[in-house]
Structure 1
Amino acid sequence: MRKPWARAVRGGLLSGLLVGAGAGATVENNLEAVLKLGPRVTGSEANEQARGYLEGELRALGYLTRRERFSYPRFDDLGSEVRVGARRLSGLALQGTPGGEVTAPVVRVPGVGTPGDFAGANVRGRIAVVARGQIPFAQKARSARAAGAAGLIVVNNEPGELRGTLGDPVALPVLGVTPEVGAALPEGQPVTLAVRVREGEVRGVNVVAFKSGVTQPELLFGGHLDSVAGAPGANDNLSGTLAVLELARRAANTPLAARSFFVLFDGEEDGLRGSRAFVKDNARLVGGLRAMFNFDMVGVNADPLAVGGDAGLVTLARRETPTLGTLGGSGGGSDHASFAQAGVPVLFFHRGLDVNYHRPTDTAADPRLIRETVDVALKTVDAVLSAAPAAR
Structure 2
Amino acid sequence: MQLRNLGAALAALVLVSSAGADIENDLRTVLKFGPRVTGSPANEQARSYLEAQFRALGYDTRREAFSYPRFDDLGSDLRQGNQTLSGRALEGSTGGEVRARAVRVPGVGTPEDFRAVNVRGQVAVVARGQLSFLQKAKNALAAGAAGLIIVNNEAKELQGRFGERVALPVLAVTSTTGAALRDGQALELRVRVRDGEVRGVNVVAFKSGVARPELLFGAHMDSVFRAPGANDNLSGTVAVLELARRAVNTPLAARSFYVLFDGEEDGLRGSRAFVQAHAPLVQGLKAMFNFDMVGVNVTPLNVTGERRLVETARQVAGLPGSFPADSGSDQVPFDQAGVPTLFFHRGLDANYHQPGDTLADPALIRGAVDAALSIADVVLKASVPAGHSGP
Normalised TM-score (structure 1)? 0.93
What residue in structure 1 maps to residue 284 of structure 2? 288
Q: Which runs of 5+ in 2 are unaligned?
A: 386-391
1:33-48 map, 5 Å:
33-48=29-44
Letter in 2 for 1:133: G
Contact 1:22 1:252 in 2 (8 A): no
- When the two chains are superposed, the root-mean-square deviation of aligned CA atoms in Å is 1.9
What residue in structure 2 maps to residue 55 of structure 1? 51
Aligned match for 1:109, one of 105, 111, 118: 105
What residue in structure 2 maps to residue 361 of structure 1? 356
Distance 1:251 1:299 in 2: 21
User: How much does 1:332 deviate?
Assistant: 3.9
SS class of match (1:249):
helix
Letter in 2 for 1:56: A
Letter in 1 for 2:331: H
1:217-228 map, 5 Å:
217-228=213-224
Contact 2:304 2:344 in 1 (8 A): yes
User: How much does 1:351 deviate?
Assistant: 0.8
Contact 2:286 2:383 in 1 (8 A): no
Listed one character per residue, the Cα deviations across residues 194-241 of structure 1 (whole Å, up to 9, x for unaligned) are 111111100000000000110000000000111111111111111100
State whether structure 2 residue 334 is matched by structure 1 residue 339: yes
Contact 1:12 1:382 in 2 (8 A): no
Letter in 2 for 1:368: A
Listed one character per residue, the Cα deviations across residues 269-317 of structure 1 (whole Å, up to 9, x for unaligned) are 1110000000000111001000000001111111111111112111110
User: How much does 1:331 deviate?
Assistant: 2.2
Letter in 1 for 2:75: G
What residue in structure 1 maps to residue 320 of structure 2? 325
State whether structure 2 residue 264 is matched by structure 1 residue 265: no
What residue in structure 2 maps to residue 233 of structure 1? 229
State whether structure 2 residue 209 is matched by structure 1 residue 213: yes
Contact 2:77 2:191 in 1 (8 A): yes
State whether structure 2 residue 157 is matched by structure 1 residue 161: yes
Distance 2:7 2:74 in 1: 56
What residue in structure 1 maps to residue 373 of structure 2? 378
What residue in structure 2 maps to residue 349 of structure 1? 344
Q: Which runs of 5+ in 1 are unaligned?
A: 1-7
Distance 1:375 1:381 in 2: 10
What residue in structure 1 maps to residue 117 of structure 2? 121
User: How much does 1:15 deviate?
Assistant: 3.1
User: How much does 1:12 deviate?
Assistant: 3.7
Distance 2:36 2:183 in 1: 38
SS class of match (1:187):
coil
Contact 2:38 2:222 in 1 (8 A): yes
Contact 2:158 2:172 in 1 (8 A): yes
User: How much does 1:78 deviate?
Assistant: 1.0
Aligned match for 2:294, one of 293, 298, 301: 298
Distance 1:299 1:193 in 2: 38
SS class of match (1:26):
helix
User: How much does 1:23 deviate?
Assistant: 8.6
Distance 2:384 2:180 in 1: 61
SS class of match (1:96):
strand
Listed one character per residue, the Cα deviations across residues 323-361 of structure 1 (whole Å, up to 9, x for unaligned) are x23357532400011111111110000011111111111
What residue in structure 2 maps to residue 32 of structure 1? 28
| Inter-CA distance 188–250: structure 2 relative to 1 (3 Å threshold) | same
Contact 1:24 1:60 in 2 (8 A): no
Listed one character per residue, the Cα deviations across residues 220-270 of structure 1 (whole Å, up to 9, x for unaligned) are 000011111111111111110000000001111100011100000000011
Normalised TM-score (structure 2)? 0.94
Contact 1:125 1:149 in 2 (8 A): yes
What residue in structure 2 maps to residue 186 of structure 1? 182
Contact 1:290 1:345 in 2 (8 A): yes
Distance 2:176 2:215 in 1: 47
SS class of match (1:40):
coil
User: How much does 1:107 deviate?
Assistant: 1.0
| Inter-CA distance 123–21: structure 2 relative to 1 (3 Å threshold) | closer
